[in-house]
Structure formats: structure tokens, C-alpha cells
Structure 1
Amino acid sequence: MSEPRAPHEIATVACIGAGVIGGGWAAYFLSRGLAVRAWDPGPGAGDRLRRTVDAAWPALTELGLAPGADPQAITLHPTAAEAVAGADFVQESAPEDLELKRSLLAELAAAAGPGVVVASSTSGFPMSDMAVAAADPSALVVGHPFNPPYLIPLVEVVGGRDSAPWAVDAAAAFYRHIGKSVIEMTRELPGFIANRLQEAIWREALHMVAAGEATPEEIDRSITDGPGLRWPVHGPCLTFHLAGGEGGMAHMLDHFGPSLKAPWTRLDAPELTPGLRDDMVAGAGRSAGGRPMAELVAERDRAVIAVRRAVAAARAAGDRA
């Protein structure tokens, strides 16, 4: 078994692919005081990467830079293998082309040193499908960010069929160490968690526009001025827990469960079995952390007010600019 790099021992990250995602990752790694070795075969990749880092740096500065953070601590290399040489962690962000991912990840796995994790930013491919060409896929994992990676904290981490447990754990530990919010998934799922939820809203929105039921403007406002204000605080599951009042998730499911069969979406609803009900109730309880409903409501209300004020202030500042 390879001995993985401890999170605090990682000083250099190879960013393979310097587009929107790869460039955003590079900016974030730099802001955490890390050095970046980059590779991208596209014309003008170096200039494009420099522009991405420069554009992200004011926001990263406002969020707070790590000691020693240097936007110039980045080097561009002529091959992927050279970029990976000497790197303590590898973040692959190539285009979403399965055959390209397979060949590139095989090359990166071969070039990476012992104990170096190679994480893919793929937005939907399972690692089991991407790792088939690698001679040794044990260090290959998914480290799926949300765009832009320098600003959105979420990273979903999951291994493939042949990923070593140490690699999954090491990737999750590293991302947490540099300030990311990590979901360490226990099983592969195409699209992972966040993209599947986002895609469900997106497809329903397209259905409504196509049928003349709503405009894009109405759909956007229905989220920004509606449930979107609550989600940064509690997310959809804990939001529905609060919707049940003192009875919480159990009351909400028992009372509104039949509406799952109402034609409110083009998606088929799952059967609300006793097992699913119990899982949702138990999960809401864990998310609540034993806090009483009144405390959760007060937390939500404070945060929603803060979000509304912050958004309004950002819009006003934009209007003055």
C-alpha cells in the first residue's frame, strides 16, 4: 500500500487543464499558499490561466488568503507528465470527454509519485468508467467541485471500483485542510449528488418554458426570491423538516406524502415506503443536531435576512459601479 501525503505536507499541486474549472482550481490552490504546476494543450493557455487567476484574486483576497499566498507561484509545463513530476497532489480538469479522460488519467496515474492522489474534476463520469486504461488506478478518485471552484466551497469525493480507500480518504482530508466543504460519498452515482439535484430543477425549468407555462425570468425569480433564500441555511431536507412544525419531518411526510403523486413535476416520484420515511426522519434529526425547532427557525430567519441584505447590497454596488 502506498503511503499518502498528509494534508499539511502537500505544497505543490499539478493542475491538468486550465479552462474555467482548472483555472479556478489553480487560483484557489494559490490562495491557500500552495504552488501550482499547470498544463493545458490549448493555444494561449498560459495567458488564459493568468487572466483567470487575476480575475479571481480580489474575491479570494476578500475571503482571506493563507500565509504565503502568491498569485505568481504558478508555472506552465509543456507536457502533463512534466507538470505532475514533483507534485504532491494532482487535479485533472480536462473536457468532459470519456475517452480523453481515460487516456489522460492513465498517463497521470503513471506519472504521479507514490502516495500522490490524482483527482478528477469530472461533473458526471464515475471513476470506474474513467480508470479502465490505467495500469494502476488505485490513486484515482473523483474530486468534483462546483463552479467557480475558487468561490464555491463544495467538493464531492468518491472513488471508483479500483480506487484505494487511502486515496479517497487522503483526497477528502486534503480538500478539508484547504477549506473546502467535502462530501465523501460512499458509492458511485452518475452526476454525483449536487448535479443531480441541480439537473432536476433545470429539466423541469426547460419543460415549463417549452410548454409556455413560465418564462426564464419567472423561473429565476421563483428560486432567488423563494426557496433559494432558505437553502444556504438548511438545504432542502432540513427546510422540509421545519415545514412540519413541531412534528418535524415525520409530520411533513405523513401530511404531505400523498402530494408526491400530484402532477407537480415531470419526474416520477419514488414510493414513500415506511423505510424511506424513516430514513428521511432520521436524517433530518441528525441534521438538526438535537436543536429544538424554535432554535432552527431563528437560525433560518437570521440567515435569510442576512442573505437578502447581502444580495441587495451587492446589486446596489453594481448599479453604482
Structure 2
Amino acid sequence: MERVVVIGTGTMAAGIGAGFMAAGLSVAFLGRDAAKAQASLASAQAIAATLPVVGARGPVDHATGTIDHWRDWSNVVWVVETVAEDFELKRALFAALDERVPDHIPIGTNSSGFPISRIAEGLRTRARMFNAHYFMPAHLVPLVEVALGADSDALLGEAVCALYRRIGKKPVLVRKDIPGFLGNRIQHALMREALSLIDSGIASPEDVDAAVRYSFGFRYAAAGPVLQKELSGWDSMARAAEEIYPSLSNTSTLARCVAEKIAAGKTGMKAGEGFRRWSPEEIASERAAYEKRLKAAFGVLTMDGEG
């Protein structure tokens, strides 16, 4: 039975593990605390029960333990860490994995902020190390960005992508170690302009959301930006670009409307207020609706064998 080792005990770890469980792979959860690892296993099993079955499913043994005491690397095909976004912590963890994990097993970090080139710098087996970036919620969003570091083995990266395709994910291979990989670079370009429009008083946060969701965001579930312009024509896009590009925001600093919110402690739902106030009931309702919409969008993506 093929096994995946997930290192970490937070929400992301449970979502990542659940994806492999739904595909019938064994998953071991490792952390600094065995009780927390056991809780992550239980959470992952509950999530996996809500996911579509991918491939054959049979009886699968799952395991938990602490990083320091785990020694069973038999049948392991992938190791992915999800610990806190702390560079020194990740650096120390990868140095330990460099020595403990057999050389043929690829290792990934879910970090979105620290490139694998920095995390794995100088390590003996850095060629088998990659960024493996998921998006929240990890069990629902199909994309996984597999990013190569300066010394990563591209062929092994392709093999990691093949593993993700087997479990129903949609991996992309990022061939250069750049900040933000693909998804976050595109997302932040959009967010910079969206917040600039809010700062300028041109549109409300609610209208910005509506403009994205019910126009090109709606279409992007059916076709990405490049295919969409293949359908509609690059010449019309070019004519619009001549008019729009000069007025787009190119600021390198955080938008005023967000900086002020953060300074006031209004960081969104987790604080009970962002651009608006949120009651506990509203938070629960909106999160449930969000997951429901994501599942519906996934159904669109998987039409005609895609996804």
C-alpha cells in the first residue's frame, strides 16, 4: 500500500491528507505532539468521507506519530510538510528530513512565502525537494503548484505531478523559483487593482466582488484567461489593453484601505470585522455557502473528463 507522510497538525495538514485518503492511499500524520497528530488524522478521515472516491478503495491503515520517533518509511511515495510559516523552523525540519528520509523519496513544502531553494540550500538531497503549494481549503481546491528550486530534479517534479493527477488534483509544474509561483502572482495582480478601485472611491468592496464573480470570474471556471482570449480573440484584448494598461495601479505598497483595517485589528472574519462586521452565525453561514459553491464549481471543472 502506497503511503504519504504529512508533517504538521493544522487545518492544512488535515485537508491535504484527506485528498490522499479519498484516493485510497495510506497517510501518516507526524507532528511534535502525538495527540495533535491523532486529532489531525481524525479530522482528515471526516473530511475524506465527504469527498468523491478516486480510484479503487479498500481497507487502508493510517498512522500518527511524532517526527522524532517516526522510522517507518516503507512504501512512502511522497512527504509533504505543512508546519507554521517560519523559515528557521522549515529550514531545520528539512535538514532533519535530508538525513532521515531515504534518498529516493521526494519531499515537498507547502510554503507559499519561502522558496524551496532557500529552505533546501546546501542540503545533500536538495534535488528531491520541491514547493508543493496548496490553496485553502486544501481538500476542495484542485490546484497544487509543484515548484522547482534551483537544484530540484525536473523529472522527479513531473513524477510528483503525476501522483497528484492520480488522486484527482490539478497540478502545475512551476519551472522557476519565483515569489508567489503562478496562482498568487496572478491573484495579487488582481487584488492590487481591486483595492486601488476601493481606495479611489470608484467602487465599494461589495461591487468589486460582484464584478469579479459575475463576469470574468464566472467564465474562468469554464476557461482560464488564455483560453478565454483564444475564444474571443487577442486583437480585441490588445485594443482594450492600449486604453486600460496606462491607468492600472502599479503600486508597490499595501492599499490604504487594507492597511488601516489591519492597524485597527479588523482583519476579517477571524476578528469579527473586516470591511464589515461578522456575527458568529453569519460566519458559519458564509463559510458553509462558500464550500457549497466551491463544490459546485468543481463539478463544472470535471465535466467531460477535465479536472
- Structure 1 48/206 Cα, relative in aligned 2: closer, same or farther at 3 Å? farther
**For the residues of structure 1 that align with 2:251 and 2:230, how far apart are their CA atoms?**
22
Choose the corresponding residue for 1:134, options 113, 123, 148: 123
Q: Answer yes or no: is 1:263 the counterpart of 2:247.
A: yes
Task: Judge conservation of contact 1:141–1:158 (CA < 8 Å) in 2.
Answer: yes
Choose the corresponding residue for 1:215, options 194, 199, 204: 204
Residue in 1 aligned with 2:65?
77
**For the residues of structure 2 that align with 1:225 and 1:25, how far apart are their CA atoms?**
30
Task: Judge conservation of contact 1:39–1:83 (CA < 8 Å) in 2.
Answer: no
Task: Judge conservation of contact 1:96–1:122 (CA < 8 Å) in 2.
Answer: yes
Residue in 2 aligned with 1:156?
145
Aligned partner of residue 82 in structure 1, secondary structure? coil
Q: Answer yes or no: is 1:165 the counterpart of 2:149.
A: no
Q: Displacement, 1:104?
A: 0.9
Q: What does 1:95-244 correspond to in 2, within 5 Å?
A: 95-132=84-121, 134-243=123-232
Aligned residues: CA RMSD: 2.7
**For the residues of structure 1 that align with 2:204 and 2:39, how far apart are their CA atoms?**
35
Residue in 1 aligned with 2:11?
20
TM-score calculated relative to the size of structure 2: 0.73
Structure 2: which amino acid aligns with 1:28?
G
**For the residues of structure 1 that align with 2:203 and 2:159, how far apart are their CA atoms?**
45
Q: Displacement, 1:183?
A: 1.1
**For the residues of structure 2 that align with 1:36 and 1:47, how far apart are their CA atoms?**
12
Structure 1: gaps of 5 or more residues:
1-9, 269-306, 312-321
Aligned partner of residue 5 in structure 2, secondary structure? strand
Structure 1: which amino acid aligns with 2:161?
A
- Structure 1 43/84 Cα, relative in aligned 2: closer, same or farther at 3 Å? closer
Figure out how many residues of one structure are paired with residues of the other and give that number: 255
Aligned partner of residue 239 in structure 1, secondary structure? helix
TM-score calculated relative to the size of structure 1: 0.70
Task: State the Cα deviation string for residues 206-233 of structure 1 (Å, max 9, x = none).
Answer: 3334444433322222222221110011
Choose the corresponding residue for 2:20, options 5, 15, 29: 29
Structure 2: gaps of 5 or more residues:
253-292, 298-307
Residue in 2 aligned with 1:53?
44
Deviates more, 1:200-209 or 1:233-242: 200-209
**For the residues of structure 2 that align with 1:217 and 1:254, how far apart are their CA atoms?**
29
Task: Judge conservation of contact 2:33–2:66 (CA < 8 Å) in 1.
Answer: no
Larger Rg over CA atoms: 1
Among all aligned residue pairs of Structure 1 and Structure 2, give the percentage whose two residues are the same amino acid: 28
Task: Judge conservation of contact 1:84–1:111 (CA < 8 Å) in 2.
Answer: no
**For the residues of structure 2 that align with 1:213 and 1:91, how far apart are their CA atoms?**
43
Q: What does 1:290-301 correspond to in 2, within 5 Å?
A: none
Residue in 1 aligned with 2:257?
none
Task: Judge conservation of contact 1:84–1:90 (CA < 8 Å) in 2.
Answer: no
Which structure shows the higher helix fraction? 1
Structure 2: which amino acid aligns with 1:85?
W
